[in-house]
Amino acid sequence: MAGLLGAMIEESIEDLGFNGFSVKDGNTAGGSSSHINGEKGDLRYLSTNKNGEAIHLFTNHTTKIQNPNFDYERQKRFNEAMYKYGWGRLAKMYSENFYIEQEEEVINPKTKKKEKKKIRVLHLLNHCFT
């Protein structure tokens, strides 16, 4: 818990939402098998709205395109801070895979000129496992 609070302070996270934590003996109200040892929390992804709302990483489970309300850059910094303070070092942090759109410079085979093209890259948040 101290690591989580340290990361929240370092990154000025005031809008963290969560779905629950386990108790000291590892039990949870919902009976989660992944939130064990009283150390695990089900944290929500950070939103651009900064209101702690529950959001999904992607807008569609088939295409897995990044949700426009998901604050990817802030989430990356927060994950780094959590890891720095010990969160995710003794046990895995979990996340979902998702696609981000990036621009890449490619050479058009017909014109032989450089062009910018949007590509989708499968991604996973830093220090996380699926």
Instruction: Give me the percent of the chain exceeding a pLDDT of 90.
Output: 30
User: What mean pLDDT comes out for the span 79-104?
Assistant: 82
User: pLDDT confidence of 67, banded at 50, 70, 90?
Assistant: confident
Instruction: Tokens for 87, please give them.
Output: 């969160």
Which candidate, 60, 79, 73, 81, places its Cα nearest to that of 9? 81
Full-model pTM: 0.74
Angle at 107 between CA 103 and CA 111, to 5 degrees: 130
- At 104-121, the pLDDT tens digits run 998 999 999 999 998 888
